[in-house]
Amino acid sequence: MKRKLFGTDGMRGRANTEPLTGETLVRLGRAIVAVFKESSHRANKSHRPKILVGKDTRVSGYMLETALASGICSMGGNVLLVGPLPTPGIAYLTSGMRADAGVVISASHNLFEDNGIKIFSGSGFKLPDEMEARIEELIASKKLDGLLPRGAEVGRALRIEDAEGRYIVYLKQTFPRNLTLEGLRVVVDCAHGAAYQVAPAVLEELGAEVFAIGVEPNGENINLNCGSIHPEAMSRQVVLKGAQVGVALDGDGDRCILADEKGRIHDGDEVMAALARDLLQEGKLQKQTLVATVMSNQGLDLALKPYGGKVVRTNVGDRYVVEEMIRGGYNLGGEQSGHIAFLDHSTTGDGMITALQVLALVQKTGKPLSELLADFKRLPQVLLNIEVKEKVDLAKLPKVTQAIDKISRELGESGRVLVRYSGTEPKARVMIEGEEETRIRAQAEEIAAVIRKEIGV
């Protein structure tokens, strides 16, 4: 069954509009319980699934959390409510508390009007496509309506009061025990999101002098001109405060963008290059391989080659990066957007673990961040986003495919073209890499113009 509700990173859309309504979330809660009951039947037919539920700080989280918990309980599952906590914190607690599944109510880097759902298995990894498709099937069918339990079989909800503290301790344990952050001045922008209490606490407890911004959520200001999507605010504060490093997280805390001591902003490709190089030199990068997506700049390949490293690429989506890491036995991977996964520490991308690993590298080497990231030479890259009415299979749009083929022939071996739909927004993305930025920008605009004419808004 092809998924319709779930994209590359769970469900995403406008809150209180289908499918992110209270009514659908009740059905989602029931479907999650049913699916995890199915998977546990061989071992224990009387098993009552335990589902951990967390959220970010957007106002619609209250409505969706209540509806989801109601659906879970109405299907005989028990709910563990942890409140606002970063997505990777939910993944960690789901595994650590031996829950059957964990659900995050968040639209990540989107503005507050949107919301979404991400689901983790009991092992802390995001669900595979087939399991999401099974959940969708149950939501759409009436099969569960006649299976609702009664009396003592109805589930319960319990609030976990120390979830934040557990996650803080876990994050600190990922930092090398022989190092501290003493002597470092760090700016951290929490995007008024789920990490607004956790991130400053971790950095302070490890010894840094912390300047925290984006830590006053009001339900409507998440990601608003701040965080990893708008790291300029963090960058300015680095310069004003004389900090050595700036850290910008997104609304659910799973991605991280950095600024060096000069206020220069660095994306996930640059950070992965520095971390992979260090692991290569230490002999700790499994199979000398970094996993990245097709969107990562080819400069990443060039940066690792002198150290004997290589890059394996996947489809866009941190879930697909992690799946490839597990399949191939790799321990570091991520995305240009700042989703970076360290399987030695976590089961999913974690913005704070990324920040801590970089800060550890700064302390270990005694070098400023600007120097540590200086080796990365980015090939010119242009990325255009085009709003579309519908996501028609590109192979069924001959004028679009002809335009892509034409530009690919023009670039030859000196560049590449990638055209894909966003997994979380109604947009087509056109990315071109090549030797001359002016030329590739004109080529990207040429393809974008055809897309706008065919399916643009």
Residue 388 has phi, psi (to 5 degrees) of -125, 155
> What would you measure as the largest C-alpha separation in the chain, in angstroms?
69
Measured distance CA(247)–CA(264) in Å, rounded: 12
CA 401 – CA 409 distance, rounded (Å): 12
Q: Supply the residues annotated as catalytic.
A: 108
Note whether 198 and 85 are within 8 A (CB). Answer: yes
Residue 335 CA to its chain's centroid (Å):
9
Q: Which two tokens stand for residue 179?
A: 């190092």
Whose tokens are 């065919």? That residue is: 454
Distance CA 46, CA 40 (A): 9
Q: What is the DSSP string of 196-217?
A: TTHHHHHHHHTT-EEEEES---
Distance CA 135, CA 148 (A): 16
* Alpha carbon distance 227, 237 (integer Å): 12
Return d(Cα 326, Cα 313) in angstroms, integer.
14
Beta bridge pairs of residue 246: 187, 259
Which letter, b or e, does each residue of 308-342 get, where b requires 16 or more Cβ atoms within 10 Å of its Cβ? Answer: ebebbbbebbbbbbbbbbeeeebbbbbbbbbbbbb
* Entry field: residues in the chain: 457
Alpha carbons 207 and 184: distance in angstroms, whole number:
8
Q: What distances in angstroms separate CA 370 from CA 104, 118, 375, one per listed residue?
A: 35, 35, 10
Q: In the structure encoding, which two tokens stand for residue 137, read together?
A: 């099937």
Closest CA to 189 of 357, 369, 355, 360: 355
Burial level of 130, CB count in 10 A (0-12/13-18/19+)? Answer: exposed
Sequence-ordered alpha helix ranges (H) in 18-155: 22-40, 60-74, 87-96, 129-140
